[in-house]
Amino acid sequence: MSTHYKVVDNVAVITITNPPVNGLGHAVRLGIAEGIERAKSDPTVASIVLTGEGKAFSGGADMREFNSPKSGMEPGLNGVLSIIESSSKPVVAAVHSVAMGGGLELAMACHYRVAAPKARIALSEVTMGLLPGAGGTQRLPRLIGLESALNMIVHGTSISSEKLADSGLFDRMAEGDVVQEAIEFAKEMAKRSAPHPRARDKVVQHVNPEGLIAVARAAVDARYKNLPAPKRCLDALEASFKLPFDEALALERRSFLELMNGSVSKSLRHAFFSERAAAKLPDASGEIQERAIERVAVVGAGLMGSGIAMNFLSAGLPVVLVDVNDEAVNKGRRSIQANYEASVKKAKLAPEALEKRMQLLQTSSDLTSVSQCDLIIEAVYEDMPLKLSTFRALDEVAKPGAILASNTSTLDVNQIAASTKRPQDVIGLHFFSPANVMKLLEIVRGEKTSIEVLQTAFNIARRIGKVAVLSGVCDGFIGNRMIAKYSRRAQELVEQGALPEQVDRAAEEFGMAMGPFRMADLAGNDIGWAIRKRRYAEDPSQPRFEIADRLCESGNFGQKTGSGWYDYEPGQRKAKPSARTRALIEAYWKEKGISPRKFSNAEIVERLIFALVNEGAAILEEGIAARASDIDAVYLHGYGFPTWRGGPMFYADTVGIFNVNRAMRSLAQSDSSWTPSPLIERLAAKNSAFNA
């Protein structure tokens, strides 16, 4: 049962009971419609209260139903709303907490609304690439005015109900039990003669509605360049004062359906669901005994170590930060303090919170100080002999059951685990830089890592607000293994005739937060160089990154040295095309007898993104990633891939695997390294998709 019906003192109370957030799936829509009809035909009932059980009044449409036959099954939400609106007995919404999307549209179709303070109120469809599809763009401006409605709808902002107390949205703010007060209110309203007020009959208020829309259009064009939904929201809002209600409603509905079937909304919804799916261990079954994590240690107080420590301090967990000497630990402490102080300055953190966090931090140059910690994260230099000796030492001092994690970016977690007598407790926790900011955390599963340790790692990730994705062991794990191929293709483009700034522009126009060369300059070209030198030594057949190597040989490490692929003014991050880099590239072309060719932006994007896709397919095939959507989550949260494209694997699905395969085959005719992975061949043959 998705709704519940009872009568209290001549008031019918319809309660939505569809956990977790009372989503408006088909059964709920039917339940509400039947409840209203039942109340209408019961002569003892004089008025109706509509409410939700549990955590929400209603969180809105049931997104799992989208693009399924159920979403089209009658009654649709608009149908339910018109049944409510046309009731001659007054219908009162009792909003005790969340009323979002369709949930708020439902409340707005009621004749009256009573709300508790602190209820979250929003029409946030735009965040999923949609617009409110059941009258939200028409009723909200009529109730709270055009400008306030526009701000809520176009940005999807959620507002606390008490801030809307005088907006016209609510007829009464409850002081106690909102359902009880709504029942009392409904009894009063029943005494009034019909018809009861309907939002649709109100007039949209604004002194200069056309002007407001024009200004908003300019702002939306600048801010949401690649997103169609905010523009459609404005069209619908414009219709709220230009067209009769029902015509405007039809326009809103058409826009909703078009957006829902478009690739941007599909991508945004995929991004939302991929983050949720990634949080579930693919082979977890039954009850898993999770380990309690109350004290954390971080070994290595450098760039990563101090950032990693901040995550736990911010979440209220005590941290011991260890390094080789007082100077190194104090440097770590100072960097943490400075970071928090910057947040205080920006008024993002209260000074008392800074104090509290710093009190949770203990620093030490003695490794035995980690002995009482439940989770120990190693972040020393990326050097295998050092990692092995560190883990051997940790094995000696850590208490039984402690989780021993490495933040290595490229080294073999199995080998690290084997240096201890407890490989089941060893795991990779690969944070991204800056570790206190970046949302992504790759949880690396060693051959022997226990399921309890994995589950605990996922729970810890949630506590510190990270998006965790499971990865198997391989060089670079999911994200960096793929980015290595992408960077290689970026280099190749330059070797063949493109300039770094053109490659970056093409990638950025596609939507990447930063092109590959700007990204390398930010991360430090020396980091990739060190990894390449190791790989050249391990496997001399590895492709050489000659231009990048030459750049590093002359000390151009990027932003930190003021020069890299680009030039930088002292203390500035703005990348300026570099005559020095250009000369280096041209010298390379000349030396190798290359006549530089021209690339279109589309060709550049195809090579860069398909490089990710082909390696992603190999990663899937090898079981390094459990799901294509996990790879997408890695790229969306760790590599600045545009959310509105859903991630590289979803993007490939959007292009069509058949087409991806064909394009790669054609590139492979002159360069066999483009041979599509067997998984791509199979999916193309079946006309299937990564995220099928």
Binding site for ligand NAD (CB under 6 A): 299-305, 322-324, 328, 379-382, 386, 390, 407-409, 431-433
Is the separation of the CB atoms in 378 and 300 below 8 Å?
Answer: yes
Instruction: Give the shortest CB-303-to-ligand NAD separation in angstroms.
Output: 4
Return phi, psi of residue 11, to 5°.
-115, 125
Q: Is beta strand 158-160 parallel, antiparallel or unpaired with respect to 120-122?
A: antiparallel
Among residues 122, 141, 98, the alpha carbon closest in space to that of 252 is found at 141
Instruction: Give the shortest CB-472-to-ligand NAD separation in angstroms.
Output: 17
User: Which CB atom, from 409 or from 456, has the smaller least distance to ligand NAD?
Assistant: 409
User: Which CB atom, from 328 or from 520, has the smaller least distance to ligand NAD?
Assistant: 328
Instruction: Give the shortest CB-534-to-ligand NAD separation in angstroms.
Output: 11
User: Which CB atom, from 144 or from 379, has the smaller least distance to ligand NAD?
Assistant: 379
621 classed as catalytic: no
Instruction: Give the shortest CB-4-to-ligand NAD separation in angstroms.
Output: 51
Is the separation of the CB atoms in 137 and 198 below 8 Å?
Answer: no
Return phi, psi of residue 567, to 5°.
-105, 150
How many whole angstroms separate alpha carbon 361 and alpha carbon 312? Answer: 10
Q: Which position's Cβ is nearest ligand NAD?
A: 302
Instruction: Give the shortest CB-321-to-ligand NAD separation in angstroms.
Output: 10
User: Which CB atom, from 303 or from 397, has the smaller least distance to ligand NAD?
Assistant: 303
Is the separation of the CB atoms in 321 and 362 below 8 Å?
Answer: yes
Instruction: Give the shortest CB-549-to-ligand NAD separation in angstroms.
Output: 20
Instruction: Give the shortest CB-439-to-ligand NAD separation in angstroms.
Output: 14
User: Which CB atom, from 116 or from 429, has the smaller least distance to ligand NAD?
Assistant: 429
Is the separation of the CB atoms in 467 and 597 below 8 Å?
Answer: no
Number of other CB atoms surrounding residue 64 within 10 Å: 12
Contacts of range 176-181, beta carbons closer than 8 Å, 24 or more positions apart? 178/51, 178/94, 178/95, 178/96, 178/114, 178/115, 178/116, 179/13, 179/49, 179/51, 179/94, 179/96, 181/94, 181/114
Instruction: Give the shortest CB-557-to-ligand NAD separation in angstroms.
Output: 13
Tokens of 233: 């929201």
Which letter does DSSP use for residue 199 in this model?
G
User: Which CB atom, from 329 or from 575, has the smaller least distance to ligand NAD?
Assistant: 329
Catalytic residue, candidates 65, 74, 125, 546: 125
Catalytic residue, candidates 37, 53, 85, 105: 105
* One-letter identity of residue 206: H
Asked whether the bond before 75 is cis by omega within 30 degrees of 0, the reply is yes
User: Which CB atom, from 326 or from 622, has the smaller least distance to ligand NAD?
Assistant: 326
How many whole angstroms separate alpha carbon 598 and alpha carbon 393? Answer: 55
Is the separation of the CB atoms in 349 and 343 below 8 Å?
Answer: yes
Look-up of token digits 């707005």? 108
125 classed as catalytic: yes
Among residues 228, 230, 221, the alpha carbon closest in space to that of 261 is found at 228
How many whole angstroms separate alpha carbon 266 and alpha carbon 635? Answer: 17
How many whole angstroms separate alpha carbon 48 and alpha carbon 20? Answer: 24
Q: What is the DSSP string of 577-609?
A: E-HHHHHHHHHHHHHHT-------HHHHHHHHH
User: Which CB atom, from 135 or from 476, has the smaller least distance to ligand NAD?
Assistant: 476
Instruction: Give the shortest CB-67-to-ligand NAD separation in angstroms.
Output: 37
| Residue 511 region by backbone torsions, left for phi larger than 0, else alpha for psi between -120 and 50, else beta | left
Give the residues across from 442 on adjacent strands. 430, 469
Q: What is the dihedral of CA 250, 254, 257, 260, to 10 degrees?
A: -120
User: Which CB atom, from 56 or from 299, has the smaller least distance to ligand NAD?
Assistant: 299
**Residues acting as catalytic residues:** 105, 125
